Structure formats: structure tokens, C-alpha cells
Chains A and B, each alone.
Chain A
Amino acid sequence: MTAPSTATATSLVAYEDAVRRYDPVLGIEVHVELGTLTKMFCAAEVAFGGEPNTQVTPVSLGLPGALPVVNGKAVEYAIRIGLALNCTIAESCRFARKNYFYPDVPKNFQTSQYDEPIAYDGWIDVELEDGAVFRVEIERAHMEEDAGKNTHVGGATGRIQGAEYSLVDYNRAGIPLVEIVTRPIEGAGDRAPEVARAYVQTLRDLFRALDVSEARMERGNVRADVNLSLRPTPESPLGTRTETKNVNSFRSVERAVRYEVSRQAGVLDAGLPVIQETRHFHEEDGTTSSGRVKSDAEDYRYFPEPDLVPVAPSREWVEEIRAALPELPTARRRRLQGEWGYADAEMRDVVNAGAIDLIEATVAAGTSAGGARKWWMGELARRAKQDEVSLEDLSVTPAQIAQLQGLVESGRINDKIARQVLDGTLAGEGDPEAVVVARGLEVVSDDGALLTAIDEALAAQPDIVEKVRGGNQGPVGAIIGAVMKATKGQADAKRVRELVLDRIGQ
């Protein structure tokens, strides 16, 4: 289907202008692939990167005669998610069939929950970068199965248009998904893009904390569909929404919302109606384009899946799962901030830098909270930025950083040498201890060797000796500097100062 010309003919409105005159309302659907060992309805293995069509059974291929059986672990994971989102867990709920013909859906229907989700009526607090907290209401979280993956071959764009043929990999077909649907998110105002991003990021952190998914955006473990509409004022009825599909990074979520705000404002300014449709997001330029028109909503002919019995989690089981829930990200942040004694701004920086796990592990390996933060938010953050990688992708472990800081604190190396040791570790020369030994970087602590260097320095600069003897300790730094230079920086500067003053007779 082609984009309606009226929608593309209008111009974009600058974002700030758009949100001054229109109130954006969000609605976000997030799909998360669960990290179960097997698929939603059969024993086919769930693993990333297998040869196409090797992780399949008659059930996930939709062969004649095959029947689904619900994966109990997937139900448990869905309940974990539901509880973490403060939802009510259904006492009994059914799967339904969503009927539509498409080659990546092996049965030509998707088995999904429709009017009976496993979890409903919840909320989650989302923290924005400046520390403001925004509450997002959750309508439902339901279970379903993923589709296979189409690869269109022979076209320029990888899209189906112009392709010579298409291949389908059913390894992904039947992987358990939980879809989380928000209620309309109102009141975000000009911060709507930020709220959308923070919401998806909060869910990603939640999935990881709950250990229900690896939640890797780049692998498509977490996918977001972003609905957006504009209205003149917060009191006006909801406007017509668009649904931007498969927005698969935090940054893209933010950009997609920004773009749709600008675009829809342009359409409304031109006096035209926003068309209810799905839209595609383009990473390259941050724009969206028209997909499928939804006004004559497709008829999926939902009906209860007759091959499955209702899922009826006992209240005892739900309470067991609730009791076993791990600490959730917000509570953990609050606890760690208390334990570490970080100021609010410090903690926010740590969170935004994605350093919380790394610092926690470094502290666990024996480093003070201050020492750990100094490394991860200082030198390591600088190097990560320089190499354009994330902190966790640096080739140094929290245990190695703890060892490095230990070397500094025991006086065996100083801060300057420590950076050289870090170079060695990052270069794959081994643990800091090993680098110190191999590179011969240990602090010179033999007073005899130091005194020789001090005497030489004193002899070379008699004028300074005089000044110091005269009671002015200011210039002593010049002597210390000369000694440090002579010992190639391996001396403990504090000790050198003591010895110099002692030698001069002060």
C-alpha cells in the first residue's frame, strides 16, 4: 500500500513549537522474548544464531496433526513480569487464535492471548535522567508466540518489494513472548520522547533483573511499537494515533516519538486528519514512513484456542513466585545509593552511564565505593568514550579494577603508574599484579636508592636548598620533581618529600 499523499505533502513542525501547541499522548507495546530453554508450545530449543530451521518440531512448523502444549516456565516468567509491573494475575485465562495468512506464521494463525491476558491493571514508575519520576499505567501483559523470520532476497532494500524470492527461518517461530501494553500515557508533555525511552529502558532493566530474558535490544529480544497521537490541549479528546512498529533501540524510541510529534503537528496544522496506520521507523534519518492503513481494521477472527485448556495459576503458586522475586531495579538503586553514600547526582550519573553493575561487582571484590566510582566514572568512562564502546565492553573486569585500586591503596603503585598498569591490562597483558611485575612498575621504596637520587638533585640545585633552609618550603617541589624524574615516576612522592626535608635538615 502506498502512503496517502496528503500525509506526506505536509511539512514538519519544529518539535518545540509542536509541543507548545499540541499535547502528545503515548501508548507503548513492548514485546520481550522470554529466555526459556524451549518454545512456548513445544520442546524445540530456543537459542540465538542456530542454522535456519534446525530448532523446530512438528509443532513449531505447524505440521498437520501437531498440537501445542503450554510451556510452564514461560507462564512463570509471564507471572514474574506481571507481578513486577504491579499487575493482577488472572485466576484463569485462555489462549486464542489470531487468524491471518502469512508465511512466517506456520499455522496461519498466531496463538496469543486476546481478551483474557495473564496479567492486567498494573503500573511502573519510570525515572527520567534528571531524577523526575513518571508513573506509566499498564493495561495488560499477555503471552503469545513469536513468528518466524522472513529474509527477502534479491531486492535492493531487503524489503519484500522488488525481492526475487523470500526465505523463512522458523527457528524463531514459537519462541515465547510477553507483550506489555500501556494505557494511554498522558501528561508527559514536551518530555514524551524521554518518557517513552525511559519506559522501554526501565522494562529492559526489569526483564534482566527478573532473569526472564537476556533482553538484548540488538538481537530483537525486546521490541517496541510506539503509538502516538496529538490533541490541542490535555482536556481535549484523544486524537487519531499512529503506531510505529519495531522500534528497536532506546535512542530510536525517543527519535520516533519526536519525529511523529513533528509530523503529526504538520498534518494537523494543514487542517488534515492524521491517518490511523502503522508506520515504519528508519534508523538512518530518524523518520517514519507509512505502512499499512488500519482504518478498516484487519479481521483476525479471534476465537478461543480449542487445542489448549485454560491456564489457571493457583494463588499459592503466584504467591511463591512473588516471594521469590528478585530485588527490582528501583529498589536496588535506592539500596545501593544508601550503601555507597553517593549523592543523588552521582548516583544518577552512575545509572545513566550503565555502571551500576560494574561498580557493585568492584565493591564486592573489596574496593571502597568511592574508589570504584573514581575508576568507572573517571578513567574508564573516558576510555570507553574514546573507543566508542560501552563500559561493560571494555576488556577489564571489576575484579581487575579492584586489584588495581588495591595496589594503589597499599602504596605499591601510585595513581599515575596505575594508569600505565591499566593500559597493560586493557592490552591483554593480564591482571594488574602481573602487569606491575612484567613492566617493572613497582614503586621504589628502598630509601637508599632514593637518597642517592635526592643527594644528586640537591647537589644540582643548591639555590633551592638555600631557600628551603631559609624557611620557605614552596620550592621543594622542584627537588621532588627531579627525584621523580630520575626514578621514572616509580617513587612514592610522599616519601620523597619526607626524605628531602629530612636531608635539608628541616
Chain B
Amino acid sequence: MGTSDMTNDITRLSASDLASALSKKDLTSVEATQAHLDRIAAVDGDLNAFLHVSTQEALATAADVDARRQAGEELHPLAGVPIAVKDVVVTKGLPTTAGSKILEDWVPPYDATLVERIKAAGLPILGKTNMDEFAMGSSTEHSAFGNTKNPWDLDRIPGGSGGGSAAAVAGFEAPLAIGTDTGGSIRQPGAVTGTVGVKPTYGGVSRYGLIAMASSLDQAGPVTRTVLDAALLHELIGGHDPHDSTSIDEPVPGVVAAARQGATGDLKGVRVGVVKELSGEGYQAGVSARFEESLEQLRALGAEIVEVSCPSFAHALDAYYLIMPAEASSNLAKFDGMRFGLRVEPAEGPVTAERVMGATRGAGFGDEVKRRVILGTYALSAGYYDAYYGSAQKVRTLIQRDFAAAFAKADVLVSPTAPTTAFRFGEKLDDPLAMYLNDVATIPANLAGVPGMSLPNGLSDDGLPVGFQILAPAKADDRMYRVGAALEAALESGWGGPLLNKAPELKTTELAR
């Protein structure tokens, strides 16, 4: 089992450690990539984090990077480090389903901008990760292709919508992954799987090639095991893209430098605002306890803890569940069987375009998608627009004002990422409202366009990981990396290593190599 032990070691390295091993030529990218492919083969039968594993393409990229490194070429710091990509991001030549039957056999003819950047930097793409259909959900139970399991407890959800990316990183199948976050789909899975997830400032990472759910809320970002790794990936995928009109035409904030600075453990002069409305009732006791302890850690590192109030956050969920479905109802209109993807002809009667569209959408979309398309269509209807969509946009403005006022008093804001640890499969499936409440702490950031990070800050009483959320003002993503890295260093020194070391070993399937 020598090979297996070696595999284990490589897959447990952080991306930055892997990158330095590669640059020192202690390891080749082919070895690193193969180790992760082996791990996927060994554990993904149970986890189901991947919808598609691109073995050949990943190894070809790895071999190419190795050859270029051997030839003395100047490479990107993350060159050769493998990565997994959420299946909502289009990849040229690799199937992209968004977790939906309606795109089951679709192979995109183009790459998302962030995928182009990943490829240009030479990161082998291991495959595409599972997700709630069209990123609609908080548990990945709404995937058309089966549940992804939480590596901490296979009976529990890995969060959602990006449960696949979070489980892949938590299960050591990939050191890096791409997620997308419309209402918490990077941060909440991070919290419940003990990983780091970052939603950058809206416009910080190009949305070109992200299959849109809600255009004004969607944002892609890193899913990793360390704050520094998130920063490295953030710098790689971030920055202006002329193909995305909403992309920020400014350099990416210095997030890697901020993470390195934070890791030195000095937060003197940093004002940390605790959002009064994002704690207390509805939060699991263990979640609240870990949160309080983290505040103490921050104080010990020199930070000043202040309380801030954001009263409009009380309406965030309501506004979100009008704006998101409204935009989604329009964004998902293109899935009609006319140009790509699934095409279903009506069982009987004439085969007209309208009827094919209806049959295709009826057969191709799952219940949660249909629920949101119907909600959104209703919210935009003549006569209801002002009351629903219009009012929701006003709430959005109020939330932005609350953030502005809070950031006048604090450099960053903090809260628990999710009110509870990972719940069991099926627990909230029949109660959409209970499911939606999972995102109560993450949604305000999307509505305001500000960046947010979740990092693991301990285990709850049930032995499952808890997430700590840090929010920063728009375009000041570096602040949360500084605070996050400082807290991470302090916590890990207390734990004697990463929190994921406490996760149970996954059962591995013997490899037939």
C-alpha cells in the first residue's frame, strides 16, 4: 500500500504547499494530478462530489505543465495544482449540466472567462462538481444526478448549492475548487464541511460563462482548505473581463498579501463589527458558542470588537426570494429545447415549437427550479411588479445603506455563516421555507454586492463543523483575508492542525490500476 500512503500525503497538502513542492520539483504535476484522480476513484463512489471526471484532459495539462517547468519556463504560482470546477461554469469540450436533466448531454463550445484563466495558468481540471439544479438549493439534494454526501457524516448534506465543490475539497479529492454564490452557495457549504469559501465583491470575478441563476447576485469564488489558498485562487480568477459589463474595471485587491499579513497574527487597530441581527434566536447553541469563542480570539489578536445593527437584514430573505426568482425566471427561459440540451416532444398532439418548449421544460426541470420560475414569473407580472420586484429592490437599497452605516463603524463585519451544522438528508426537503432559512446570514452580502468569507471555527456539540463569516465593504476583499488568516492561524494552533484532521477517514475503494 505504499502508493496509497503517498497518495494520501499529496492529497492532504494545501494548494500553496503543493505549489511550492511543484516549483521545487519535489513532485510533478502528473503525480499530484494522478494522486487526486486516485483519491476521487477511491472515495467518490460514496461522496458523489463529481458529476464528470476529466482524467485525460487533467493528465494532459499536468504533463504539459511538467514539460514547461522542465524547460525552465516561467509559470503561474499555481501551475500544475489540480482544481475542480462547479458544474454551473461552462467548460469547452467538457460536459456542463448545472445539475439539471435539461442540460444532461450538453458540451459547451466555449470556456467561461475564469476557466480560460485557470487553463492559461496551467491548473489541471479534475472534473465538474455536483450542485443543486441551477444552483437552487442549500443541500445539493436538488441535483438531478443524486446527492453529494458530507465527508464528516455520509448521512448529512454537504450544503448547497455548491455541495460538490465543498465535499471534494473537504474529502481531499481536490485542493482547490470553484464555487458560485448567489445567496450563500459557496459560504454555507464551506461552513458545513469545514472548508474555506469566499464570495468576492460582485463584479470581482467575471460571470461570463457562469450559467446564470440571478444575474445581479451571482458571483464565482474559491473553495479551499486554507485562507491563503483561497487568496491565491481569488487572484487568479479575479479581475476585469470585457465580456462581463458588470465586472469591476480595477485591479484585484491584494488578497494574497493580506492573507500573508493576517497569518502573522496581528490585528491591532482592526475594528470587527458583530451584526446584532445575525445571531441569537434560531442559531444552534454550538454555533453560537464557537462564534463567541472566535470573537475572543480576535480580541486576543488585537482587534476591537464593536456591535453594529443592520435592521433591514430582517427583510433580506423576503427581498431575496423575489429578486432571485424574478431574474431566474428570465435567465432560465432559454432552456427550451430549441437550440441545445434536452428536447422533448409532446406525448400526443401536434409538435409545435410552443408545445415542444413546454414538454422540454416540464420534463427537464426539477421541482425547485419550477417553483422558482413560477414565483419569479408571478413577481414580474404586470400589476404585481411594483408590489413585489419593485419593493424588493427598495429593500435592497435599505440593506446597502445598513451595510454602509455598519462599515463606517467597523472594518469588517462578522457572524456565524449558517444557523446550524449540516442537517440530515431529507430533513428539510419538504419544507422549502426551512431550507431557505439556512441562508439568512449569507444573503445580505449578495443583495449588497459586498464580499464574504466563511472559514471553519470549530465543531459544534454534534461534532460537526461550524463556519465563521467575515464580510467586508465592496472592493475591500483584502480586509476579510487579513482577518480570516489571523483567526485561522490562531484556531489551528489551538487545534494542533487543520480542523479537517478531525474528520473521520473515508472508506476507500481499492484501486484497480
Contacts and interface: CB of A to CB of B under 8 A. Distances in A.
A301 B377 CA distance: 8
B243 A64 contact: no
B263 interface: no
Contacts of A61: 339
Contacts, number: 101
A133 interface: no
Contact of B333 (A67, A109, A297): A109
Interface of A: 58, 61-70, 97, 99, 101-103, 106-109, 166, 168, 297, 299, 301-303, 306-309
B344 to A, nearest CB: 15
Interface in B338-378: 338-340, 353-354, 357, 377
Which 10 A-B residue pairings sit nearest by Cβ, starting from the closest? A108-B333, A306-B215, A301-B380, A306-B216, A65-B209, A65-B90, A64-B211, A299-B382, A62-B334, A107-B334
Given A101-B357, A303-B380, A308-B245, A64 B334 contact: yes
Contact of A63 (B108, B243, B381): B108
8 contacts: A64-B108, A65-B89, A65-B108, A99-B329, A109-B333, A301-B382, A302-B380, A307-B245
A102 B357 CA distance: 9
B290 interface: no
B246 to A, nearest CB: 6
Contacts of A103: 336, 338, 353
Given A63-B109, A65-B209, 7 more contacts: A62-B339, A64-B106, A64-B335, A66-B209, A67-B208, A99-B330, A303-B380
Contact of A65 (B112, B330, B354, B357): B112
A163 to B, nearest CB: 10
B389 A303 contact: yes
Contacts of B338: 103, 168
Q: Looking at A64, A106, A166, A302, which has the most chain B CB atoms within 10 Å of its CB?
A: A64
B244 A58 contact: no
Contacts of B246: 306-309
B317 interface: no
A297 B243 CA distance: 35
Nearest to A101: B357
Nearest to B376: A301
B325 to A, nearest CB: 12
For this complex, into which size category does the number of interface residues on chain B fall? 35 or more
A297 B244 CA distance: 34
Nearest to B361: A101
Nearest to B335: A64
Q: Is the interface of B mostly helix, strand, loop or mixed?
A: loop
A108 B334 CA distance: 5
Contact of B336 (A63, A108, A299, A306): A108
B98 A97 contact: no
Given A107-B333, A166-B353, A65 B385 contact: no
A67 B245 contact: yes
Given A70-B245, A299-B382, A307-B215, A65 B208 contact: yes
B381 A299 contact: yes
A166 B207 CA distance: 33
Nearest to B218: A306
Nearest to A70: B245
Contacts of A301: 329-330, 377, 380-382, 385
B327 interface: yes
B293 to A, nearest CB: 40
Nearest to B357: A101
Contact of A303 (B89, B109, B326): B326
Contacts of B381: 299, 301
Nearest to B206: A67
Given A301-B377, A303-B380, A306-B216, A67 B207 contact: yes
A102 B112 CA distance: 27
A102 B211 CA distance: 21
A66 B208 contact: yes
A358 B425 CA distance: 79
Contact of B212 (A65, A109, A166, A297): A65
Contacts of B98: 64
Contacts of B245: 67-70, 307-309
A309 B246 CA distance: 6
Interface centre among A58, A63, A168, A299 (most CB of B within 10 A): A63
B436 interface: no
Given A99-B330, A309-B245, A65 B377 contact: no
Nearest to A61: B339
A67 B216 CA distance: 12
A76 B232 CA distance: 41
A65 B243 contact: no
A98 to B, nearest CB: 10
A84 to B, nearest CB: 28
A64 B330 contact: no
B103 interface: yes
A303 B340 contact: no
A68 B326 CA distance: 19
Contact of A58 (B103, B110, B353, B385): B110
